[in-house]
């Protein structure tokens, strides 16, 4: 059989569809005012997404180099703040949106200060503030910081640099204006040269996503763990990106996308979801405001589809994954035979519970899906526990459906627990499954215990002894008779009373006098307890060969739980009196039975201890 193709990441599949959807978008023009930029292929199109815990998704031309252009401005602004302090920088460059084009020659009346560091005037003034004892030193410091943000050494595209330097008369005019108002202390040529070089740093789309994720991550590059900018300054950088990053489109952008962002005339767009992730898009066709047409469209779709607007509060944290454990760590309340237990211990890792909490927003579900997709080779039954989740964003249902379908096609089954607590989500989930003609793949349980049992049964069917457990067990094969010879068995049999119960019959009631132990020989019983809220909790489910009511043999205390016949049941009942009488004439038989009881109690305690350890980890 050929190896099955892996389950695709639903996030990756989404990005591929997003890319395909907008690849045909041919509106806008490649920038030509810097002659070298005109050589860009208008078809180039890349989308990259980097999370603050270091996962990178890429589709399309994400490794095509292009020049960073204006996206360099917030980075340079951070460095200027670092070098001079906020006050000194604010004395030279304001933080008011200009509502004008990136290359407008707009300085505040009176002071001559550029309105903000995202328009060219403010960016040139900002670059002039970067410290260094020579032009080379300033450039080296600038490149070093950009490289920290990107997590790899970046260099300059010399051709684009020369092309802009030769034709950048408008920027030179701005430089002289700044000099005129003493915003630049010296000749503008030095700052202008550094600005042209800074704009010509060669990056790819992936770099943009990582730079954005570094800003999202408080200045710490999530891939390298290295700091690119002080944590304290990140909010200032993101503030100017929010109000001015998209120039005269900033208001509409904030309204409809809601992410601090920066665009560049080579076609890059960088957007930041603080605390969560960074987005990079690259496509050279620009709209009339100098923003990448596909870049804007992609960000708008991402924000809408995944509810990324940064003013949506509260945001959940990445610790949406409260715990993750497998069926080797915990088990259902169905007591398994030793044979079944051995199988589950061997393959229990193939069913895993992802215990979630908090608000399931996009970054939270992304982190969960990533783990499931990553573990897929070792995983047959992912169990997604939604009981502790407080709210589920609309974007989660389609992503989970995609996982369910992808798993289903590969013989794996996703189980949802507690989906009933989120009726809106469940309805959408069912609709989408039905629309995909996959309704049969819906497996959801209100509680974890039945989900675990279902998963165990599935693993046992796939890996266990054929046919599951036996329907009936003769006395000689019963757990309680282990080690007893034929004569001992005959003695025991003589004092046992066979009893049959119909399905639903309550064999033991809580509070009853405890005066006998029951050897289950056919059928199934469940031990349950009524909770103060009226609901019933299952403590265990037993199969033939197992024993219940054994505490009666210890101290004849009243029954502590109810035992009910799940099916028609047959038992052999051993009364405490009969066992005592047997002990007087055949002490060896009594000792053997007690020893077997002790073993089964020990097995249960060991499993419970293991489970407590798993859950309190
Ligand atoms: N280097 C470009 C310029 O100054 C940057 C402009 C931009 O990317 N919006 O014109």
**594 close to 554: Cβ distance less than 8 angstroms:** no
Helix (H) or strand (E) holding 172: helix 169-180
* % of the chain surpassing 70 pLDDT: 98
- Token pair in block for residue 610: 């293991």
* Ligand 1 atom closest to Cα of residue 196: 1
Binding site membership of 74 for ligand 1 (Cβ less than 6 Å): no
Binding site membership of 292 for ligand 1 (Cβ less than 6 Å): no
70 labelled catalytic? yes
Query: With bands split at pLDDT 50, 70 and 90, how would you rate the model's confidence at 69?
Result: very high
Q: What is the pLDDT of residues 213-255, one digit of tens each?
A: 999 999 999 999 999 999 999 999 999 999 999 988 989 999 9
State the distance from the centre of ligand 1 to the C-alpha of 171, rounded, in angstroms: 9
Binding site membership of 66 for ligand 1 (Cβ less than 6 Å): no
Binding site membership of 264 for ligand 1 (Cβ less than 6 Å): yes
Q: From residue 556, how far is each of 177, 479, 575 by CA, in Å?
A: 98, 22, 10
Binding site membership of 265 for ligand 1 (Cβ less than 6 Å): yes
195 labelled catalytic? yes
Binding site membership of 102 for ligand 1 (Cβ less than 6 Å): yes
Residue 469: the pLDDT is 65
State the distance from the centre of ligand 1 to the C-alpha of 258, rounded, in angstroms: 23
Nearest CA to ligand 1 atom 10: 103
Residue 452: the pLDDT is 95
Binding site membership of 295 for ligand 1 (Cβ less than 6 Å): no
Residue 584: the pLDDT is 93
Domains and CATH numbers, the chain: 11-306 (3.40.710.10), 321-463 (3.30.750.24), 475-615 (2.60.120.10)
Q: From residue 393, how far is each of 128, 359, 564 by CA, in Å?
A: 45, 8, 41
Query: With bands split at pLDDT 50, 70 and 90, how would you rate the model's confidence at 319?
Result: confident
Residue 314: the pLDDT is 60
State the distance from the centre of ligand 1 to the C-alpha of 81, rounded, in angstroms: 21
Nearest CA to ligand 1 atom 2: 69
Binding site membership of 122 for ligand 1 (Cβ less than 6 Å): no
Binding site membership of 331 for ligand 1 (Cβ less than 6 Å): no
Q: Give CA–CA dist 371/365, Å, rounded.
A: 10
State the distance from the centre of ligand 1 to the C-alpha of 31, rounded, in angstroms: 10
Catalytic: which of 9, 70, 283, 332? 70
State the distance from the centre of ligand 1 to the C-alpha of 56, rounded, in angstroms: 27
Q: What is the pLDDT of residues 81-95, one digit of tens each?
A: 999 999 999 999 999
95 contacts: CB under 8 Å, gap ≥ 6: 116, 117, 239, 240, 243, 244
* Ligand 1 atom closest to Cα of residue 171: 4
Catalytic: which of 247, 325, 501, 518? 247
* Ligand 1 atom closest to Cα of residue 264: 8
State the distance from the centre of ligand 1 to the C-alpha of 70, rounded, in angstroms: 5
pLDDT at 317 over 60: no
Q: Map residue 258 onto helix, strand or coil.
A: coil
Query: Among 57-66, 243-252, 388-397, 526-535, which is the least confidently predicted range?
Result: 526-535
Residue 560: the pLDDT is 87
Tokens 């703040």 belong to residue: 81
Binding site membership of 293 for ligand 1 (Cβ less than 6 Å): no
396 contacts: CB under 8 Å, gap ≥ 6: 360, 362, 365, 425
Q: What is the pLDDT of residues 439-481, one digit of tens each?
A: 888 889 999 999 999 999 999 989 987 666 677 889 998 999 9
Catalytic: which of 203, 265, 281, 563? 265
Strand order in the sheet with 547-548: 497-501, 569-575, 516-522, 547-548
State the distance from the centre of ligand 1 to the C-alpha of 569, rounded, in angstroms: 82
Residue 316: the pLDDT is 53
Helix axes 189-199, 169-180, angle to 10 degrees: 140
Q: Map residue 577 onto helix, strand or coil.
A: helix
Q: Give CA–CA dist 404/438, Å, rounded.
A: 9
Binding site membership of 276 for ligand 1 (Cβ less than 6 Å): no
Question: Ligand 1 test: best mutation among 173, 265, 290, most atoms within 8 Å of CB?
Answer: 265
Mean pLDDT of the chain: 92
State the distance from the centre of ligand 1 to the C-alpha of 120, rounded, in angstroms: 7
* % of the chain surpassing 90 pLDDT: 73
What's the rounded mean pLDDT across residues 30-57?
95
- Token pair in block for residue 600: 């089964």
* Ligand 1 atom closest to Cα of residue 266: 8
Residue 109: the pLDDT is 81
State the distance from the centre of ligand 1 to the C-alpha of 308, rounded, in angstroms: 28
Q: Are strands 285-286 and 277-282 parallel, antiparallel or unpaired?
A: unpaired
Binding site membership of 67 for ligand 1 (Cβ less than 6 Å): no
Catalytic: which of 14, 30, 73, 163? 73
Q: What is the pLDDT of residues 519-558, one digit of tens each?
A: 999 999 999 888 888 777 888 899 999 999 888 777 788 8
What's the rounded mean pLDDT across residues 425-437?
93
Catalytic: which of 14, 57, 195, 354? 195
Q: Give CA–CA dist 380/458, Å, rounded.
A: 9
Q: What is the pLDDT of residues 277-303, one digit of tens each?
A: 999 999 999 999 999 999 999 999 999
State the distance from the centre of ligand 1 to the C-alpha of 371, rounded, in angstroms: 40
Residue 467: the pLDDT is 61
* Ligand 1 atom closest to Cα of residue 34: 10
Binding site membership of 171 for ligand 1 (Cβ less than 6 Å): yes
pLDDT at 385 over 70: yes
Helix (H) or strand (E) holding 353: strand 351-360
Nearest CA to ligand 1 atom 6: 70
239 labelled catalytic? no
Residue 423: the pLDDT is 92
Of the CA atoms within 13 Å of residue 367, those in its CB half-sphere come to 24
92 contacts: CB under 8 Å, gap ≥ 6: 113, 114, 125, 126, 128, 129, 183
Residue 550: the pLDDT is 86
Residue 320: the pLDDT is 84
């Amino acid at each position: 059989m050929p190896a099955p193709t892996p389950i695709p990441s639903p996030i990756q599949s989404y990005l591929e569809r997003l890319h395909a959807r907008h690849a045909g978008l041919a509106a806008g023009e490649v920038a030509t005012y810097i002659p070298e930029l005109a050589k860009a292929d208008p078809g180039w199109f890349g989308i990259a997404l980097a999370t603050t815990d270091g996962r990178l998704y890429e589709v399309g031309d994400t490794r095509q180099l292009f020049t960073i252009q204006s996206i360099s401005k917030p980075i340079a602004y951070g460095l200027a703040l670092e070098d001079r302090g906020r006050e000194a920088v604010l004395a030279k460059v304001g933080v008011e949106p200009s509502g004008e084009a990136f290359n407008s020659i707009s300085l505040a009346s009176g002071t001559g200060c550029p309105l903000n560091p995202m328009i060219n005037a403010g960016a040139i003034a900002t670059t002039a503030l970067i410290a260094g004892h020579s032009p080379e030193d300033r450039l080296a410091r600038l490149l070093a910081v950009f490289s920290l943000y990107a997590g790899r050494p970046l260099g300059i595209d010399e051709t684009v640099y020369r092309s802009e330097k030769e034709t950048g008369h408008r920027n030179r005019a701005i430089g002289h204006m700044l000099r005129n108002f003493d915003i630049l202390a010296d000749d503008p040529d030095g700052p202008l040269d550094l600005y042209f070089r800074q704009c010509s740093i060669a990056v790819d789309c992936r770099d943009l996503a990582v730079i954005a994720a570094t800003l999202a991550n408080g200045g710490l590059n999530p891939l390298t763990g290295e700091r690119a900018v002080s944590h304290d300054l990140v909010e200032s950088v993101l503030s100017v990106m929010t109000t001015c990053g998209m120039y005269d489109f900033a208001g509409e952008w904030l309204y409809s996308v809601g992410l601090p962002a920066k665009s560049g005339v080579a076609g890059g767009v960088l957007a930041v979801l603080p605390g969560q992730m960074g987005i990079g898009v690259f496509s050279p066709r620009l709209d009339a405001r100098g923003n990448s047409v596909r870049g804007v469209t992609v960000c708008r779709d991402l924000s809408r589809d995944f509810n990324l607007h940064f003013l949506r509060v509260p945001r959940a944290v990445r610790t949406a994954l409260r715990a993750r454990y497998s069926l080797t760590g915990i088990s259902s309340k169905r007591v398994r035979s030793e044979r079944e237990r051995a199988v589950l211990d061997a393959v229990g890792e193939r069913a895993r519970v992802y215990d979630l909490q908090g608000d399931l927003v996009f970054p939270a579900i992304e982190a969960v899906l990533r783990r499931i997709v990553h573990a897929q080779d070792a995983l047959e039954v992912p169990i997604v526990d939604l009981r502790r989740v407080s709210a589920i964003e609309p974007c989660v249902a389609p992503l989970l459906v995609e996982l369910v379908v992808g798993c289903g096609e590969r013989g794996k089954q996703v189980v949802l627990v507690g989906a009933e607590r989120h009726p809106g989500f469940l309805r959408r989930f069912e609709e989408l499954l039905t629309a995909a003609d996959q309704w049969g793949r819906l497996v959801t349980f209100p509680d974890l215990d039945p989900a675990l049992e279902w998963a165990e049964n599935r693993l046992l069917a796939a890996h266990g002894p054929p046919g599951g457990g036996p329907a009936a067990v003769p006395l000689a094969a019963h757990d309680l008779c282990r080690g007893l010879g034929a004569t001992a068995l005959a003695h025991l049999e003589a004092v046992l009373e066979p009893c049959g119960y119909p399905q639903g019959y309550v064999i033991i009631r809580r509070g009853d006098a405890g005066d006998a132990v029951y050897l289950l020989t056919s059928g199934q019983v469940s031990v349950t307890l009524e909770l103060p809220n009226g609901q019933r909790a299952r403590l265990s489910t037993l199969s033939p060969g197992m024993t219940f009511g054994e505490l009666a043999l210890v101290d004849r205390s009243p029954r502590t739980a109810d035992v009910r016949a799940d099916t028609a049941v047959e038992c052999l009942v051993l009364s405490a009196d009969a066992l005592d009488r047997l002990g007087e004439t055949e002490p060896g038989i009594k000792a053997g039975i007690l020893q077997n009881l002790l073993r089964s109690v020990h097995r249960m305690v060991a499993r419970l201890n293991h489970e407590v350890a798993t859950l309190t980890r």
